[in-house]
Amino acid sequence: MEKRKTALFPLHKESHFLIFCILMVCLMGIAMFTAMRMGSVEIDPDTIQGILVNKLTSREYYPVTWEYSLESIVWDIRTPRVFTAFIVGAGLTMCGILMQVLTKNSLADPYVLGISHGASAGAVSVIMYGYLWFLGGYGTMAGAFLGALISITLAMKIASVRKKITATQLVLAGIAVSALFGAITNLMIYHTKTGSDKVKTASYWMMGSLSGSSWEKLKYATIAFLVCFALIMLLTRQLDVLMLGDDVASTVGVNTDKLKLMIILLATLLTGVIVSVSGPIGFVGLTFPHITRSIVGTKHRRLVPAAVLVGGTFLVVADIISRVIVAPEELPIGVVSAFFGAPFFLYLIRKGNKKAGG
Amino acid sequence: MKLNVENVSYSIGAKLIVDGVSLGVEEGSFVGLVGPNGCGKSTLLKNIYKVYKPDSGKVFIDGKDLAQLSNKETAKEMSVMQQENNVEFDMLVFDMVMLGRYSHQKMFGTDMVSEGRIVKDALAEVGLSGYEERSFLSLSGGEKQRTLVARALVQKAELVILDEPTNHLDIGYQYQIMNILKNQDLTVFSSIHDLNIASCYCDKIILMKAGRIVDFGTPEEMFVPEKIRNLFGVDTEVNVNPHTGRPNIVFYPQ
């Protein structure tokens, strides 16, 4: 038989993979620094460097030559925002990977499955009716987590036919669940808020935005992200096996029930936390696992860290675009990510059809 | 006995699919499970390899109750090969086979050099040396199935369960896969559709119908026209395959 060499993914060698990660870290740094400079006020690099170093060392390492207002823009507004963008992008990508392993379907992601909208509804209900007051600052997140948990259960129930999840069912389930929870969110907002406030909060909880970023929220999100990341890195081998299907995974030795429960908990926790800081931002969890997979392969030990870097960096860039393109106004970041993600989604569906057809 | 099934029953909804089945598979033997479509072969096997949990009855491997073992412990005792499964995410043949080593690897400190050697040896065993860097989804049906045989082999379990492994393969591949398995030092329990393949490779044949075991014995004892007629409703003539000395079943069209 003739041997065909098929290039499945270009970066086989471990050293190439490392170089890719290092390059991505550099790109991430450049994107973050650019994001700090750009916006309604453009700030020169020296000033940013001065402010950051002074703040981080809590000393006047660089003599203060800038206005106090700039310091506030850089440190209180842009820095948390840039890092939030990265964490949100990275976290959504990680959720996407988890959902895709869970459903064995590359179309799955928290937004497509309607889980982001479930989390939104949960967060809004807490904000509007305040029933989780005893949790203090964590109340919104807890609400979002609960909303995510309810919607993932619903979506998985609708999507699975005889214990199998088909692509069509998955997409349909997602449409139904996001429509339902989107409607609930709008109902709650229009029920409680008044005037122009309505439109603003509604668009925030439907489209997502990073304009509400703060150090406080960033702190929670970062902790949640790092904990989930660490746990997922411990599960990478089991995730690899689970891709083969539940039956195969269990005969190879994986406790699939426990693993799937773990995946659902991690994915909903992450989605909840992320949606509570940024609202539902679509298509990140769909696009970047797929792109990264085609570069570094399907093994999760490589895929997860690489995809996290790619997805996080993308959202930092998307955030720059959202602030620059209609300046001095700001576009919801969900609009930008949808412009990139939606065509990609269509491409995946078409590709899936072709595969099924021939 | 390597594998002991004691009085296993299993129903899906209200329908009893496996009805109090007991059987034993001796160490080192190649046992075939034969029966018409829908007789519960696959369901019985799934009860053995723990995808289904029996409603009643028990399964033992080397005297150990399978229900008491974790999936990881079970995987070291028994490997399973199913029909080629639909894999949505592509991976390298090497990585695919390596997944079979899951139950032997620890989270940290696994010697990946020796693990890699085990994988390469298994690939050589199934005639796929040099396929390590190939994409699994680009392989032909027979190559995919041989990759899965290699994955079952690296599990280093003494008992292999085959759940209709060669159904959709052409005749050449079917014989090839059975040859590979026959040449291993393993106990094999397999459901088989093709009676001549079963006759050729099995030491013992178990006949199954409507969720029950109706008979068992050597191929010579089982493959007689009355029994085949009773099972499949087809008239046959059985002679001796001059090459193997085993029963050769010739089917008569109606």
DSSP letter string over A286-327?
HHHHHHHHHHH-S-HHHHHHHHHHHHHHHHHHHHHHHHHTTT
Distance between CA atoms of residues A342 and A226, nearest Å: 28
Of residues B149, B135, B141, the one with CA closest to residue B90:
B135
Of residues B33, B55, B36, the one with CA closest to residue B161:
B33
B72 and chain A in contact, CB less than 8 A: yes
Closest partner CB to B102 (pick from A252, A293, A298): A252
- 3 state DSSP class of B228: helix
- Residue B85: list chain A partners with CB under 8 A: 244-245, 247-248
Distance from CA of A18 to the nearest CA of B (A): 19
**Per-residue pLDDT tens over the stretch A133-165:** 777 777 888 999 999 999 999 998 888 877 777
Of residues B227, B226, B225, B171, the one with CA closest to residue B200:
B171
Peptide bond preceding A10 in cis form (omega within 30 of 0): no
pLDDT band at A7 (very low <50, low <70, confident <90, very high): low
User: Do B80 and A297 count as a contact with CB atoms less than 8 A apart?
Assistant: no
**Per-residue pLDDT tens over the stretch B70-79:** 999 999 999 9
Task: Judge whether residue A1 has pLDDT over 60.
Answer: no
User: Do B134 and A5 count as a contact with CB atoms less than 8 A apart?
Assistant: yes
Distance between CA atoms of residues A72 and A55, nearest Å: 11
pLDDT value at residue A8: 66
A236 and chain B in contact, CB less than 8 A: no
- Residue B49: list chain A partners with CB under 8 A: 251
Contacts of B155 (CB under 8 A, 6+ apart): A252, B75, B76, B79, B100, B101, B103, B104
Q: Specify the amino acid at residue B29.
A: S
How many residues belong to chain B?
254
Under 8 Å between Cβ of B153 and B125: yes
Mean pLDDT of A229-239: 95
Q: What angle do CA B9, B83, B3 make, to 5 degrees?
A: 45
| CB burial of residue A329 (10 Å; 0-12, 13-18, 19+) | exposed
Task: Judge whether residue B159 has pLDDT over 50.
Answer: yes
User: Do A5 and B50 count as a contact with CB atoms less than 8 A apart?
Assistant: no
Task: Judge whether residue A347 has pLDDT over 90.
Answer: no
Q: What ipTM is given for this predicted complex?
A: 0.87
B49 and chain A in contact, CB less than 8 A: yes
pTM over 0.95: no
Mean pLDDT of B125-146: 90
Task: Judge whether residue A2 has pLDDT over 50.
Answer: no
- 3 state DSSP class of B23: strand
- Residue B79: list chain A partners with CB under 8 A: 251
pLDDT band at B207 (very low <50, low <70, confident <90, very high): very high
A16 and chain B in contact, CB less than 8 A: no
In sign, the C-alpha dihedral spanning A337, A339, A342, A347 is negative
B12 and chain A in contact, CB less than 8 A: no
Q: Which of A251, A259, A295, A349 would best serve as a mutation to test chain B binding (most B beta carbons within 10 A)?
A: A251
User: Do B88 and A234 count as a contact with CB atoms less than 8 A apart?
Assistant: no
In sign, the C-alpha dihedral spanning B121, B126, B128, B132 is negative
pLDDT value at residue B43: 93
More confident site: A52 or A196: A52
Question: How many Cβ pairs closer than 8 A exist between chain A and B?
Answer: 90
Task: Judge whether residue A208 has pLDDT over 60.
Answer: yes
Distance between CA atoms of residues A294 and A300, nearest Å: 13
Backbone dihedral angles phi then psi of residue A13, each to the nearest 5 degrees: -70, 145
Distance from CA of B46 to the nearest CA of A (A): 9
User: Do B70 and A255 count as a contact with CB atoms less than 8 A apart?
Assistant: yes
Distance between CA atoms of residues B168 and A344, nearest Å: 35
User: Do A251 and B79 count as a contact with CB atoms less than 8 A apart?
Assistant: yes
Contacts of B236 (CB under 8 A, 6+ apart): B225, B228, B229, B249, B250, B251, B252
Under 8 Å between Cβ of B169 and B177: yes
**Per-residue pLDDT tens over the stretch A69-96:** 888 888 888 999 999 999 999 999 999 9
Name A160's bridge partners.
A165
Mean pLDDT of B188-209: 93
pLDDT value at residue B84: 63
User: Do A250 and B71 count as a contact with CB atoms less than 8 A apart?
Assistant: yes
Of residues A326, A45, A258, the one with CA closest to residue B72:
A258
- 3 state DSSP class of A201: helix
Closest partner CB to B75 (pick from A100, A253, A256): A253
pLDDT value at residue A3: 41
pLDDT band at B89 (very low <50, low <70, confident <90, very high): confident
